[in-house]
Structure 1
Amino acid sequence: MKIEAKRDLRRLITVVLASLLMAINIKTFVRTGGLYPGGATGLTILIQRISQMYLPHEIPYSPINILLNAIPVYIGFRFIGKKFTFFSLIMILLTGFFTDMMPAHVITYDTLLIAVFGGIINGVVISLCLSVDATTGGTDFIAIYLSQKCGMETWNLILGFNVLILGAAGVLFGWDKALYSIVFQYVSTQTLHTLYRDFQRQTLFVVTDKAEEIAKMIFDETHHGASIMHAEGSHEHKDHQVLYSVIAADSARHVIKRIRDIDAHAFVNSIRTTELSGRFYMKPKD
């Protein structure tokens, strides 16, 4: 229980810091550049700017964002995990609170710099949340649900969905901001790919004489199986075993180190897997 309580406290602290960083990004880079980050956040900002055109006062960030996240939060509770969704909901509520309460601050008026560095911060925030099993809300819930159900990376699909939102912003408010927003979203997605690798796959080919021992280690460490094939070296014509396994990319470095501990002479070829069909173990969200 103590270990779980410490883990939950770490998750809570990370979520609070991430929500604060997200609000700072919105009130400095995003608002100054007139950008639309995509997802529920971008759609919230788009609705706020539409309200400025037709209403006496701008609608606050929080009520719009909470309303837009209602269905994604339901998907999270129903299909992903209750505690996972609970911490994500804290992220959504705190981001709205900080965004509404925090004064705007200008760092630079250069829109390209805003798109690049704002996108990096956005990607870091999403990665922070995902690293402690939470999300920033909105389309992140949908991306994780599809990743778990279909066993594929879906962040580029979400990027395509966000481009549609940005297209609507371009029609209403001008294409220059919409195009810079696409740069923002692309940088954010690539930052996420770099920092968070849980839904990426890595294929291992291991030439070894201790395949059974290595296969057991892989299963114990990652819950993934392996296939063992017999091979003959072309130079010395010695018999060897080739172990084939697909694991989560974030486990690859640790697994390769363990392989070296078992067989220092093993030949390991690690390849990124871009498409996977069939059964693949996914650690469930809590």
Structure 2
Amino acid sequence: MPTQLGAKPTVRDNVIQMAIAIFGIFLFAFGVNVFIVPAGFYNGGFVGISQLIRTILTDFLGFHFGNTDVAGIIHFIFNIPLFFLAYSIGRRFFVRTVICVGLQTLFLTIIKAPATPVLDEPLAACFIGGIIVGVGTGITLRAGASGGGNDILGVYFTRKNKNFSVGKITLMVNMVVYVGCAFLFDIRVVIYSIIYAAIVSFATDKTHLQNINTEVMIFSKDKAEEIRNAILTGLGRGSTCWTGYGGYTGEQTTVIYAVVSKYELISLKKKVQTIDEHAFVVSKENISVEGNYSKRL
């Protein structure tokens, strides 16, 4: 939920964003424990590594933890060193991430996995579980937080290199998990887990709108300078302006061109409408950008 362009987030805005992030964390834990764990598949990333360690401890080394699923606790321990990386991204991101990782640990522990699979068809469990987990992850990232682990790595490297995305980083980290699965389990578990991971990656990138670069062209007859300033001061983005004229009316107009994320576009459209209700806005998603363009959380 974007704030008004150029406005400092209020306490209410921060509370709403945090609530959205927590909802995303809940969706993640629900999808994993209700659809993936009962089917015998493994999550990707650091959660998957935590699940593998739990399985080794319980099934191979004979440790018993009662009815408590220690995968969430192991996941929290893994995230402690990554919190320093989250802090380098931003203090607000750091605080929200610590809260979300703590709640994710809680949700993964208290949401009990059914004794038998909810769906008889394994592929259906992969698709439904993958969509729920991916959307949950994307919602959390979109709210300016993360569930830790590969989400932190994904956001960090996305800011460092324009060719990265959270979904791509997740897919890379997942390979570590599935190599481990290949040694411990049969190939069926590995194949279905990889299908599930691909769906999670796709759903995450589609929900995490900051990953989607969008070009926007704004046509305004007499409010172009105000719109240009709104883009500069509100989004911290540059723009290119030139003068044109209407093919039908012959009247002079100013064209403003900018590249923003799809997330930023939501606020920009609202602000343009406020400044000039007669402005004409054209946008195009999923463009490739080279050069000095800043990808943001």
Q: Give TM-score, length-normalised by structure 1.
A: 0.82
Contact 2:235–2:264 (8 Å) recurs in 1: yes
Pairing partner for 1:120 from 131, 134, 137: 131
Does 2:196 correspond to 1:187?
no
Q: Does the 8 Å CA contact 1:49/1:58 hold for their aligned counterparts? A: no
Q: CA 1:256/1:83 → structure 2, altered by over 3 Å: closer, same or farther?
A: closer
Q: Deviations over 1:143-197 (max 9, x none)?
A: 1112223345512421233234223313421222222222222222222233220
The CA RMSD measured in Å over matched residues stands at: 3.0
- Say whether residues 1:229 and 2:239 are aligned partners: no
With over 3 angstroms needed to count, the CA separation of the structure-2 counterparts of 1:99 and 1:151, relative to structure 1, is: same
Contact 1:32–1:109 under 8 Å retained in 2 = no
Give the partner amino acid of 1:197.
L
Q: Distance in 2 between matches of 1:157 and 1:147?
A: 10
**Aligned AA for 1:256?**
K
Shift of 1:58: 5.4
1:126: Cα distance to partner? 1.1
Residue aligning to 2:44: 38
Is the CA contact 1:80–1:145 (under 8 Å) kept in the aligned structure 2? yes
Instruction: Report how far residue 129 of structure 1 moved.
Output: 1.8
1:268 to 278, 281, 287: 281
Query: CA, structure 1 residues 235+4, in 2 after alignment: closer, same or farther (shift >3 Å)?
Result: closer
Aligned residue-pair number: 281
Q: 1:153, 1:200 within 8 Å by CA — same for their partners in 2?
A: no
Contact 2:22–2:140 under 8 Å retained in 1? no
The letter of the residue matching 1:70 is I
Is the Cα–Cα contact under 8 Å of residues 26 and 136 in structure 2 kept in the other structure? no
Gaps of 5+ in 1: none
Distance of 1:10 and 1:260 partners within structure 2:
24
| Equivalent residue for 1:82, pick from 67, 87, 91 | 91
Q: Aligned partners of 1:194 and 1:5: how far apart in 2?
A: 28
The answer to whether the Cα contact below 8 Å between 1:152 and 1:276 also exists between their aligned partners in 2 is no
Alignment CA distance shift 1:274-1:177 (3 Å): farther
Shift of 1:240: 4.6
**Paired amino acid for 2:129:** G
Does the CA contact (< 8 Å) of 2:21 and 2:141 recur in 1? no
Q: How many angstroms apart in 2 are the aligned matches of 1:207 and 1:6?
A: 34
Shift of 1:25: 2.5
CA deviations 1:9-44 (Å, max 9, x no partner) are 445544544444433333221111112221111111
Contact 1:72 1:139 in 2 (8 A): no
The percent identity for this pair of structures is 22
Match of 2:57? 51
Contact 1:129 1:135 in 2 (8 A): yes
In structure 1, C-alpha distance between the alignment counterparts of 2:137 and 2:96, rounded to whole Å: 13
**Is 1:22 equivalent to 2:34 in the alignment?**
no
Displacement of 1:279: 3.5
Which secondary structure does the structure 1 equivalent of 2:38 belong to? helix
Counterpart mapping for 1:1-286 below 5 A: 4-57=10-63, 60-77=70-87, 79-105=88-114, 106-158=117-169, 159-210=171-222, 211-231=224-244, 240-260=253-273, 262=275, 266-280=279-293
Distance 2:25 2:275 in 1: 43
Could you say what secondary structure the match of 2:257 adopts?
Answer: strand
Which has the larger share of helix? 1
| AA of the residue aligned to 1:64 | I
Code of the residue aligned with 1:27 in structure 2: it is N
Contact preservation (8 Å) 2:214, 2:283: yes
Q: CA deviation at 1:235?
A: 7.5
Separation of aligned partners in 1, 2:19 and 2:248: 56
What one-letter code is carried by the residue in structure 1 that aligns with 2:208? Y
What is the CA–CA distance in structure 2 between the aligned matches of 1:115 and 1:92, rounded to whole Å? Answer: 24
Paired residue type of 1:108: L
